[in-house]
Amino acid sequence: MSAEMAPHLATDHADKGSKFVLQPDEGASYWQPKPANGYVTIKVSPDNCTSNLVAMGVQVVAPNGCYVREHWHSRNEEILFCFEGRGTILVDGAPHAFVPGTTAYLGRWVKHKIINDDAERPLKFTWTYLPPGLDQFFASIGRPRHAGESTPEPFERPADV
């Protein structure tokens, strides 16, 4: 519908939301500790947009049996979308293939664990987290990452997080 047909839909509202486009290597990025290794890149969070309702990012889990440990969220919902690699997602203990095109919706208190089953290639997926907070968690347990730098030696998660 055009602005001429519906002037109330004009795009110059004072409360118009944020907009941006990030390329693959753009966004705050953090190396992740054992057992996931790999890294996370934050694409959307309250730090870079006006929304306080959602955070979204890309997670890369290193190959050869690395995994995101089993956990759950008491106040948040999460949507995962696998776009590269091959793994298994355990949802409340039940295994499911986690391959390109797989979507997982995980409500509050739903236990989940993500395992990279490939011995050579990383597992890559997006996460969307409502309300935000996962972005801050990854920053607190990770180490800053810059595109193109070498992967660090695996490191332990900070004890105080």
- Provide φ and ψ at 43, rounded to 5°: -100, -40
- How much is the pLDDT for 59? 98
* Mean pLDDT, rounded, for 50-64: 94
CB contact at 8 A, 39 and 145: yes
- How much is the pLDDT for 160? 85
What's the pTM value of the predicted model, to 2 decimals? 0.89
Distance separating alpha carbons of residues 30 and 98, to the nearest angstrom: 23
Model pLDDT for residues 92-135, shown as the tens digit of each residue = 999 999 999 999 999 999 999 999 999 999 999 999 999 999 99
- Eight-state DSSP code of residue 103: E
Helices (H), 74-158: 134-141
Query: What percentage of the chain exceeds 70 in pLDDT?
Result: 93
- Eight-state DSSP code of residue 154: P
Distance separating alpha carbons of residues 82 and 27, to the nearest angstrom: 19
